[in-house]
Amino acid sequence: MITFRKAVAADLPAIVAMLADDPLGATREDASLPLAQAYLDAFAAIDADPNQLLAVAVDGAEVVGTLQITFLAGLSRKGAVRGQIEAVRVAGGRRSDGIGRKMFEWAIEECRARGCVLVQLTTDKGRADAHRFYDGLGFTASHIGYKKTL
Amino acid sequence: MITFRKAVAADLPAIVAMLADDPLGATREDASLPLAQAYLDAFAAIDADPNQLLAVAVDGAEVVGTLQITFLAGLSRKGAVRGQIEAVRVAGGRRSDGIGRKMFEWAIEECRARGCVLVQLTTDKGRADAHRFYDGLGFTASHIGYKKTL
Protein backbone atom coordinates (compact mmCIF):
# COMPACT_ATOMS: atom_id res chain seq x y z
CA MET A 1 0.00 0.00 0.00
CA ILE A 2 1.74 3.13 -1.28
CA THR A 3 0.72 6.47 0.18
CA PHE A 4 1.80 10.02 -0.61
CA ARG A 5 2.48 12.96 1.67
CA LYS A 6 4.46 16.17 2.07
CA ALA A 7 8.08 15.39 2.88
CA VAL A 8 9.46 16.07 6.35
CA ALA A 9 13.07 16.67 7.34
CA ALA A 10 13.52 13.05 8.39
CA ASP A 11 12.87 11.99 4.77
CA LEU A 12 15.81 13.99 3.45
CA PRO A 13 18.51 11.27 3.46
CA ALA A 14 16.22 8.92 1.51
CA ILE A 15 15.25 11.67 -0.95
CA VAL A 16 18.84 12.71 -1.62
CA ALA A 17 19.85 9.06 -2.00
CA MET A 18 17.22 8.70 -4.74
CA LEU A 19 18.39 11.90 -6.47
CA ALA A 20 21.95 10.53 -6.46
CA ASP A 21 20.98 7.00 -7.64
CA ASP A 22 20.60 8.00 -11.27
CA PRO A 23 23.03 8.32 -14.20
CA LEU A 24 22.75 12.12 -14.28
CA GLY A 25 22.28 12.62 -10.55
CA ALA A 26 25.32 10.52 -9.68
CA THR A 27 27.60 13.27 -11.00
CA ARG A 28 25.69 16.11 -9.34
CA GLU A 29 24.65 14.95 -5.87
CA ASP A 30 26.33 13.93 -2.64
CA ALA A 31 24.26 11.49 -0.60
CA SER A 32 26.91 10.95 2.08
CA LEU A 33 25.79 11.39 5.69
CA PRO A 34 25.50 13.70 7.45
CA LEU A 35 24.01 15.50 4.46
CA ALA A 36 25.70 18.66 3.26
CA GLN A 37 24.22 21.77 4.86
CA ALA A 38 23.11 23.01 1.41
CA TYR A 39 20.51 20.20 1.27
CA LEU A 40 19.16 21.15 4.71
CA ASP A 41 18.98 24.81 3.74
CA ALA A 42 17.22 23.99 0.48
CA PHE A 43 14.73 21.79 2.34
CA ALA A 44 13.98 24.60 4.79
CA ALA A 45 13.35 27.04 1.92
CA ILE A 46 11.07 24.60 0.12
CA ASP A 47 9.22 23.67 3.30
CA ALA A 48 8.53 27.33 4.18
CA ASP A 49 7.18 28.22 0.73
CA PRO A 50 3.41 27.73 0.33
CA ASN A 51 3.91 27.42 -3.43
CA GLN A 52 6.22 24.44 -3.08
CA LEU A 53 5.25 20.88 -2.28
CA LEU A 54 8.08 18.40 -1.89
CA ALA A 55 6.39 15.03 -1.71
CA VAL A 56 7.32 11.45 -0.94
CA ALA A 57 5.73 8.12 -1.75
CA VAL A 58 5.95 5.78 1.22
CA ASP A 59 5.44 2.06 1.62
CA GLY A 60 5.05 1.53 5.35
CA ALA A 61 8.03 3.31 6.86
CA GLU A 62 10.08 3.18 3.65
CA VAL A 63 10.40 6.19 1.33
CA VAL A 64 10.10 4.76 -2.19
CA GLY A 65 9.59 7.83 -4.35
CA THR A 66 9.78 11.61 -4.48
CA LEU A 67 8.84 14.56 -6.60
CA GLN A 68 8.56 18.29 -6.16
CA ILE A 69 5.59 20.39 -7.27
CA THR A 70 5.84 24.16 -7.66
CA PHE A 71 2.60 26.11 -8.03
CA LEU A 72 3.44 28.93 -10.43
CA ALA A 73 1.27 32.03 -10.60
CA GLY A 74 1.57 33.82 -13.92
CA LEU A 75 -0.28 36.27 -16.15
CA SER A 76 -0.24 34.02 -19.24
CA ARG A 77 -3.38 32.09 -20.18
CA LYS A 78 -5.56 34.64 -18.37
CA GLY A 79 -3.76 34.47 -15.09
CA ALA A 80 -3.52 30.69 -14.97
CA VAL A 81 -1.74 28.85 -12.18
CA ARG A 82 0.53 26.06 -13.43
CA GLY A 83 1.81 23.09 -11.58
CA GLN A 84 5.44 22.30 -12.35
CA ILE A 85 6.86 18.92 -11.44
CA GLU A 86 10.59 18.37 -10.97
CA ALA A 87 13.04 16.00 -9.33
CA VAL A 88 10.97 12.86 -9.91
CA ARG A 89 12.57 9.67 -8.64
CA VAL A 90 11.54 6.16 -7.64
CA ALA A 91 13.80 4.10 -5.39
CA GLY A 92 16.06 1.58 -7.14
CA GLY A 93 14.54 -1.89 -6.98
CA ARG A 94 11.00 -0.45 -6.93
CA ARG A 95 11.03 0.98 -10.44
CA SER A 96 8.68 -1.54 -12.08
CA ASP A 97 5.99 -1.47 -9.39
CA GLY A 98 3.84 1.30 -10.91
CA ILE A 99 4.90 3.68 -8.14
CA GLY A 100 5.87 6.40 -10.61
CA ARG A 101 2.49 6.34 -12.28
CA LYS A 102 0.59 6.39 -8.97
CA MET A 103 2.81 9.20 -7.71
CA PHE A 104 2.10 11.23 -10.85
CA GLU A 105 -1.63 10.61 -10.64
CA TRP A 106 -1.51 11.87 -7.06
CA ALA A 107 0.58 14.90 -8.06
CA ILE A 108 -1.78 15.79 -10.89
CA GLU A 109 -4.71 15.66 -8.46
CA GLU A 110 -2.80 17.97 -6.09
CA CYS A 111 -2.37 20.40 -9.00
CA ARG A 112 -6.05 20.18 -9.87
CA ALA A 113 -7.02 20.80 -6.24
CA ARG A 114 -4.89 23.95 -6.27
CA GLY A 115 -6.68 25.22 -9.37
CA CYS A 116 -3.89 24.60 -11.88
CA VAL A 117 -5.00 24.61 -15.51
CA LEU A 118 -1.79 23.00 -16.71
CA VAL A 119 0.90 20.67 -15.41
CA GLN A 120 4.36 21.09 -16.90
CA LEU A 121 7.74 19.46 -16.54
CA THR A 122 10.96 19.06 -18.44
CA THR A 123 13.09 16.01 -18.78
CA ASP A 124 16.55 15.53 -20.20
CA LYS A 125 16.53 14.60 -23.90
CA GLY A 126 18.56 11.49 -23.01
CA ARG A 127 15.98 9.96 -20.66
CA ALA A 128 14.13 7.78 -23.18
CA ASP A 129 12.31 5.77 -20.49
CA ALA A 130 11.00 9.01 -19.00
CA HIS A 131 9.71 10.14 -22.38
CA ARG A 132 7.63 6.98 -22.77
CA PHE A 133 6.38 7.40 -19.21
CA TYR A 134 5.18 10.99 -19.74
CA ASP A 135 3.66 10.18 -23.14
CA GLY A 136 1.73 7.39 -21.41
CA LEU A 137 0.43 9.82 -18.80
CA GLY A 138 -1.07 12.05 -21.49
CA PHE A 139 1.59 14.74 -21.54
CA THR A 140 2.44 16.43 -24.85
CA ALA A 141 6.09 17.01 -25.78
CA SER A 142 5.30 20.49 -27.13
CA HIS A 143 8.28 22.48 -25.84
CA ILE A 144 12.05 22.63 -25.87
CA GLY A 145 13.74 23.08 -22.51
CA TYR A 146 16.79 25.36 -22.49
CA LYS A 147 19.28 25.60 -19.65
CA LYS A 148 22.23 27.83 -19.03
CA THR A 149 24.68 27.22 -16.20
CA LEU A 150 25.79 30.40 -14.41
CA MET B 1 17.72 54.23 -23.12
CA ILE B 2 16.03 51.01 -22.03
CA THR B 3 15.80 50.29 -18.30
CA PHE B 4 14.44 47.31 -16.40
CA ARG B 5 12.43 47.14 -13.21
CA LYS B 6 9.88 45.13 -11.25
CA ALA B 7 6.44 45.55 -12.78
CA VAL B 8 3.77 47.55 -10.96
CA ALA B 9 0.00 47.27 -11.30
CA ALA B 10 -0.11 50.22 -13.71
CA ASP B 11 2.02 48.20 -16.17
CA LEU B 12 -0.56 45.41 -16.41
CA PRO B 13 -2.52 46.58 -19.49
CA ALA B 14 0.73 46.94 -21.46
CA ILE B 15 2.01 43.54 -20.28
CA VAL B 16 -1.20 41.72 -21.15
CA ALA B 17 -1.30 43.48 -24.53
CA MET B 18 2.17 42.08 -25.26
CA LEU B 19 1.14 38.59 -24.14
CA ALA B 20 -1.84 38.76 -26.50
CA ASP B 21 0.15 40.19 -29.46
CA ASP B 22 1.65 36.85 -30.46
CA PRO B 23 0.46 33.96 -32.63
CA LEU B 24 0.03 31.63 -29.64
CA GLY B 25 -1.01 34.28 -27.14
CA ALA B 26 -3.73 35.66 -29.42
CA THR B 27 -5.82 32.53 -28.85
CA ARG B 28 -5.21 32.43 -25.09
CA GLU B 29 -5.33 35.98 -23.78
CA ASP B 30 -7.88 38.80 -23.50
CA ALA B 31 -6.28 42.24 -23.55
CA SER B 32 -9.60 44.13 -23.55
CA LEU B 33 -9.99 46.86 -20.93
CA PRO B 34 -10.79 46.85 -18.12
CA LEU B 35 -8.67 43.74 -17.75
CA ALA B 36 -10.35 40.56 -16.56
CA GLN B 37 -10.18 40.17 -12.79
CA ALA B 38 -8.13 36.97 -13.24
CA TYR B 39 -5.19 39.06 -14.50
CA LEU B 40 -5.41 41.38 -11.49
CA ASP B 41 -5.57 38.44 -9.11
CA ALA B 42 -2.60 36.76 -10.78
CA PHE B 43 -0.61 39.98 -10.59
CA ALA B 44 -1.36 40.29 -6.87
CA ALA B 45 -0.19 36.71 -6.27
CA ILE B 46 3.03 37.25 -8.24
CA ASP B 47 3.70 40.60 -6.61
CA ALA B 48 3.32 39.17 -3.09
CA ASP B 49 5.66 36.23 -3.70
CA PRO B 50 9.32 36.92 -2.90
CA ASN B 51 10.31 34.12 -5.27
CA GLN B 52 8.63 35.78 -8.24
CA LEU B 53 9.90 38.76 -10.20
CA LEU B 54 7.63 40.04 -12.95
CA ALA B 55 9.75 42.56 -14.82
CA VAL B 56 9.28 45.16 -17.52
CA ALA B 57 11.65 46.86 -19.91
CA VAL B 58 10.77 50.54 -20.24
CA ASP B 59 11.80 53.21 -22.72
CA GLY B 60 10.88 56.48 -21.03
CA ALA B 61 7.27 56.01 -19.98
CA GLU B 62 6.62 53.23 -22.51
CA VAL B 63 6.62 49.54 -21.52
CA VAL B 64 8.47 47.77 -24.35
CA GLY B 65 9.14 44.32 -22.92
CA THR B 66 8.31 41.88 -20.16
CA LEU B 67 9.40 38.62 -18.64
CA GLN B 68 8.79 36.72 -15.44
CA ILE B 69 11.51 35.15 -13.30
CA THR B 70 10.72 32.51 -10.69
CA PHE B 71 13.45 31.63 -8.19
CA LEU B 72 13.04 27.91 -7.58
CA ALA B 73 14.50 26.28 -4.49
CA GLY B 74 15.12 22.58 -4.96
CA LEU B 75 17.18 19.71 -3.55
CA SER B 76 18.70 18.71 -6.90
CA ARG B 77 22.27 19.74 -7.72
CA LYS B 78 23.12 19.99 -4.02
CA GLY B 79 20.29 22.29 -3.08
CA ALA B 80 20.73 24.65 -6.02
CA VAL B 81 18.41 27.58 -6.64
CA ARG B 82 17.34 27.89 -10.28
CA GLY B 83 16.03 30.90 -12.09
CA GLN B 84 13.17 30.11 -14.42
CA ILE B 85 12.16 32.61 -17.06
CA GLU B 86 8.72 32.62 -18.62
CA ALA B 87 6.32 34.87 -20.48
CA VAL B 88 9.00 36.71 -22.45
CA ARG B 89 7.67 39.36 -24.84
CA VAL B 90 8.91 42.46 -26.63
CA ALA B 91 6.40 45.03 -27.88
CA GLY B 92 5.46 44.80 -31.57
CA GLY B 93 7.42 47.34 -33.59
CA ARG B 94 10.37 47.15 -31.15
CA ARG B 95 11.37 43.58 -31.91
CA SER B 96 14.59 44.28 -33.81
CA ASP B 97 16.04 46.80 -31.38
CA GLY B 98 18.03 44.34 -29.25
CA ILE B 99 15.60 44.82 -26.35
CA GLY B 100 15.11 41.07 -25.91
CA ARG B 101 18.82 40.47 -25.58
CA LYS B 102 19.32 43.34 -23.11
CA MET B 103 16.31 42.17 -21.11
CA PHE B 104 17.73 38.65 -20.93
CA GLU B 105 21.16 39.88 -19.92
CA TRP B 106 19.49 41.85 -17.13
CA ALA B 107 17.39 38.83 -16.09
CA ILE B 108 20.42 36.54 -16.00
CA GLU B 109 22.21 39.04 -13.76
CA GLU B 110 19.17 39.10 -11.45
CA CYS B 111 19.39 35.30 -11.25
CA ARG B 112 23.11 35.44 -10.52
CA ALA B 113 22.52 38.05 -7.79
CA ARG B 114 20.01 35.69 -6.16
CA GLY B 115 22.55 32.88 -6.15
CA CYS B 116 21.05 30.81 -8.96
CA VAL B 117 23.40 28.22 -10.44
CA LEU B 118 21.23 27.67 -13.49
CA VAL B 119 18.73 29.58 -15.59
CA GLN B 120 16.05 27.55 -17.32
CA LEU B 121 13.15 28.20 -19.64
CA THR B 122 11.01 26.37 -22.12
CA THR B 123 9.76 27.57 -25.44
CA ASP B 124 7.22 26.13 -27.83
CA LYS B 125 8.76 23.86 -30.46
CA GLY B 126 7.19 26.04 -33.13
CA ARG B 127 8.96 29.27 -32.15
CA ALA B 128 12.00 29.01 -34.46
CA ASP B 129 13.01 32.65 -33.91
CA ALA B 130 13.06 32.07 -30.17
CA HIS B 131 15.28 29.01 -30.59
CA ARG B 132 17.91 31.03 -32.45
CA PHE B 133 17.64 33.75 -29.80
CA TYR B 134 18.25 31.37 -26.88
CA ASP B 135 21.04 29.55 -28.72
CA GLY B 136 22.69 32.93 -29.25
CA LEU B 137 22.44 33.70 -25.53
CA GLY B 138 24.39 30.56 -24.66
CA PHE B 139 21.47 28.36 -23.62
CA THR B 140 21.60 24.63 -24.35
CA ALA B 141 18.52 22.88 -25.72
CA SER B 142 19.08 19.88 -23.48
CA HIS B 143 15.54 19.09 -22.37
CA ILE B 144 12.09 18.26 -23.65
CA GLY B 145 9.22 20.26 -22.19
CA TYR B 146 6.01 18.32 -21.55
CA LYS B 147 2.65 19.89 -20.79
CA LYS B 148 -0.70 18.44 -19.84
CA THR B 149 -3.84 20.54 -19.75
CA LEU B 150 -6.12 19.77 -16.79
Low-confidence ranges of chain A (pLDDT < 50): none
pLDDT tens digits, one per residue of A101-112: 999 999 999 999
Instruction: Specify the pairing of strand B140-149 against strand B118-124.
Output: unpaired
pLDDT of residue B141: 97
Compute the distance between CA of residue A105 and CA of residue A3 in angstroms, rounded to an integer: 12
Per-residue pLDDT tens over the stretch B103-139: 999 999 999 999 999 999 999 999 898 999 999 999 9
Strand arrangement, sheet containing B2-6: A2-6, A52-59, A62-73, A81-90, A118-124, B140-149, A140-149, B118-124, B81-90, B62-73, B52-59, B2-6
Residue of B nearest to A24 (CA): B77
The closest alpha carbon to A86, from B132, B39, B118, belongs to B118
Q: What residues 96-135 of chain B have any CB closer than 8 A to a CB of chain A?
A: 108, 111-112, 116-125, 131, 134
Q: Over 90: is that where the pLDDT of B49 sits?
A: yes
**pLDDT digits 0-9 by tens, B121-130:** 999 999 898 9
**Residue B133 CA: distances (Å) to CA of A56, B13, B83, B96, B104:** 38, 26, 18, 12, 10
pLDDT at A8: 97
pLDDT (tens digit per residue) in A14-25:
999 999 998 888
pLDDT at site B142: 97
Which of A41, A73, A145 has the CB atom closest to B145's CB atom? A145
A142–B145: do the CB atoms touch at under 8 Å?
Answer: yes
**B137 shares contact with chain A (CB less than 8 Å):** yes
A146 interface with B at CB cutoff 8 Å:
yes
What is the ipTM metric for this complex?
0.93
| Contact pairs from chain A to chain B, CB under 8 Å | 213
In the 8-state DSSP scheme, what is residue B35?
P
DSSP, res B76: H
* Residue B24 pLDDT grade (very low, low, confident, very high; cuts 50, 70, 90): confident
Q: Is the full-model pTM beyond 0.90?
A: yes
Is the CB of B150 less than 8 angstroms away from the CB of A30? no
Q: What is the pLDDT of residue A60?
A: 93
